[in-house]
Copies of this chain bind each other. A is one copy, B any other.
Amino acid sequence: MTTPHPHPEPAERRWPDEPLAKDLARLRETNSLTHCVTNLVVTGFTANVLLAAGASPAMVIAAEEVADFAAVASGVLINVGTVTEPDARAMLIAARAARDAETPWVLDPVAVGALRFRTDLVAELVELSPAVIRGNASEILALAGRPGGGKGADSTARSAEAIDAARSVASQTGAVVAISGEVDYVVAGDEVIGVGGGDPLLTKVTGSGCALGALMAAFLGVAGSPADAAVAASAVFGAAGQRAAAEVSGPGSLAVALLDQLYLLDPAEWTS
């Protein structure tokens, strides 16, 4: 006997289906200009993920430049992974400019909860109307005020354990909340969508979650809604990750194959 679940089973999406194929085709056609203010561990990999998928990355970080860029970009990512004080100022400027220009943006609150400085910064950023908040289970639990551990930037909780916390964050902020993990979940209002794909070996590639957040920002420029963008990015990244993992024996090769598979992913897979 199972305990009755207060919510219906999450819907599941997986590459390919028609809306996903259309969103990827539009990303390739328009080369969404994606402005990333991200951490310095993953800048190169993030830019390569965006290029491989078909977007046009811009990694401008100066306080003097981020407002102008955020205003013209299709989507913006703000990721606090290695934030310093000048970065924090630039992130707040970028987020305000994005909000004011109605450029949709993604917040990636890396390791929020564990450290006071970034936790305070994230609290300010959340007020600036991100379209999507993406994190691992520990980060989403922390955002909801529920201690969920976390080890450095790594989660110690499973993604499904953070669904209720994600609902709470979504309700408080109006953002779509994406939880990355064994299964990726996208929580939009009352709706919960599970996205298949991926591979456990991806946790051994630094920045795979961060790059997924950037890809969500890229899809914000072409998808019908923030929820659609988060689902499309998760499904595309998950499919590429799964195909890449099937052909490699370790994490070095996986990072390389992931870029190849993102590039090779073909919207025509749906119609064919």
Contacts and interface: CB of A to CB of B under 8 A. Distances in A.
A58 B152 contact: yes
* Interface hub of A44, A63, A68 (most chain B Cβ within 10 A): A44
Contacts of A83: 62
Interface in A214-265: 248-253, 255-264
A61 B44 contact: no
Contacts of A207: 44, 47
B39 A42 contact: no
A206 B256 contact: no
A43 interface: yes
B252 A69 contact: no
A84 B86 contact: yes
A41 interface: yes
Contact of A257 (B65, B152, B252, B261): B252
A47 B259 CA distance: 18
Interface of A: 31, 33, 35, 39-45, 47-48, 51-52, 56-65, 68-69, 81-86, 111, 115-118, 151-154, 203-207, 248-253, 255-264
6 contacts: A35-B152, A41-B47, A43-B44, A51-B251, A60-B115, A255-B259
